[in-house]
Chain A
Amino acid sequence: MNSPDADAPLVERAKSGDKTAFEMLVVKYQRRIERLIGRMVRDVDLVPDIAQETFIRAYRALPQFRGDSAFYTWLYRIAVNTAKKSLMELKRDPLVTEAARAGRDDDDDDRRPDSEPSDAATPDAVLASKQIAAAVNFAVEALSEELRQAITLREIEGLSYEEIAALMNCPIGTVRSRIFRAREAIAARLRPLLDTREGDRW
């Protein structure tokens, strides 16, 4: 079955010259891409730079993207190639750190070996992540049955609005509205945790 790519509207817009559309896709995929790169490159300090490089290379390669695969699949490949390229360049660098040189395995799980705490791994950052995860779970539990089912079917099961409408036996417009309201409710609980500090706005 060939379901249409949910990213198609934004990708087409980006291909037509709208950089904003591409930025919106960055926000969508940055966490997944950083996690992927983090698995390939042990030195977590390198991750943001490689992620940045990945997205810029993807932007430049947009004309070559024709929709033969899903956008994320294509982006994933670019991330892997960018990470490998960075690792090769690091190998040639005499100042490369032990951690970076060791980062050639990509079959490990999400745990990182004990190393110097970096941005991602400081106790504060770890705590912030845990708090966010807890807040999301708590907020989902607090939703009404309908809203919880709608957001779960969409985000976890990956069903389309049409499929969800069939499952929940309601119109597609209702599905759309329920997913939206679920998002609003969860985001409201997250807001205190996500609040921007001075000078650090979206």
Chain B
Amino acid sequence: MAMDAFDESAKERLSALADGELDGIEPGSACAAWARNAAVREDWHAWHLIGDVLRSEDLASDPGRDRQLCAAIRARLQQEPVVLAPGALAAPRRARWTVGAAVAAGCVLVVGTFAVLRPSDGTAPAVAVQGERAPVATVAAVEPSMAISASTVPPSPAANEAVVADVRLIRDAQLDRYLAAHKQFAGSSALGVPSAFLRSATVDTAPR
């Protein structure tokens, strides 16, 4: 089996990995090379010994000692069950906020959809507002951001009824094919309550 060439650029990436400066590149191939290739392991050891010695000369150790400890640990690790705990380490605060906002947006979408589409008897919901009929257009499978503004349909000032709009679902052709394949969901009437599958939104158009 031919040894994969661990060329200069791969070595430079290994050096960047030692500093945690891979800039998004996955360390997987560097780890694989380290596992297969004694020269890579020697480099990795030498570089870290150099860093230690530069900071503190009393960390200069007999290399045989380092090798022995690593060999002993490797042998014990082989006995250990593989640890599986994936999932990113604590993200910086900024990223966490972004995730939270996206989740909140999703919630508003779903809640908004439920508020607008409330079928009375399982058929396509259509409720007339007292007096006037607010013309609406519906769009299927929209971006959450669009849906947010769209789903906050203002409740009729006069009404105690929550539902305001005459709603038609414009179905996405791809979605139709998917639903047909999964027959249990064919036809929105089969769903007593609109599910998040059928992403839709209403957009208020100005009354003429």
Task: Give chain A's interface residues, CB within 8 Å of chain B.
Answer: 2, 4-24, 26-28, 30-32, 34-35, 48, 51-52, 55-56, 59-60, 62-63, 65-68, 110, 119-120, 124-125, 128-130, 132-133, 136, 140, 151-152, 154-156, 160-161, 176-177, 179-180, 183-184, 186-187, 190-191, 193-194, 196-197, 200-202
Contact = CB atoms under 8 A, between A and B. Distances in A.
Nearest to A158: B55
Contacts of A11: 89
Contact of A180 (B11, B52, B86): B11
A143 to B, nearest CB: 12
Q: Which 10 A-B pairs have the closest CB atoms?
A: A6-B20, A67-B89, A63-B85, A202-B41, A180-B15, A187-B46, A67-B90, A133-B60, A132-B60, A129-B60
7 contacts: A16-B85, A20-B32, A27-B66, A132-B49, A155-B51, A190-B50, A194-B46
Contact of B77 (A59, A154, A161, A197): A59
B83 A125 contact: no
B66 A30 contact: yes
A110 to B, nearest CB: 5
Contact of A110 (B15, B58, B61, B86): B58
B143 interface: no
B50 A183 contact: yes
B173 interface: no
Contacts of A136: 50, 53-54, 60
A200 B21 CA distance: 31
Contacts of A179: 15, 19
A23 B20 contact: no
B84 interface: yes
A180 B112 CA distance: 55
A17 B45 contact: no
B82 A19 contact: yes
Contact of A202 (B59, B61, B67, B90): B67
Interface in B42-84: 42-55, 57-70, 72-74, 76-78, 80, 82-84
Interface in B124-146: none
Contacts of A197: 64
**Interface size, B (range):** 35 or more
Of B27, B54, B62, most buried by chain A (CB within 10 Å of CB) is B62
B17 interface: yes
Contact of A27 (B21, B45, B60): B45
A13 B16 CA distance: 16
A133 B57 contact: yes
Contacts of A17: 82-84, 86
A5 B20 contact: yes
Given A11-B89, A24-B31, A60-B80, A154 B19 contact: yes
A34 B60 contact: no
A23 B53 contact: no
A94 to B, nearest CB: 27
Contact of B67 (A10, A22, A28, A200): A200
Given A136-B54, A176-B21, A48 B82 contact: no
Contacts of A120: 61-62, 65
Contacts of A191: 46
Given A183-B50, A202-B42, A9 B27 contact: yes
A26 B70 contact: yes
Nearest to B31: A20
Contacts of B17: 9-10
Contacts of A34: 61, 69
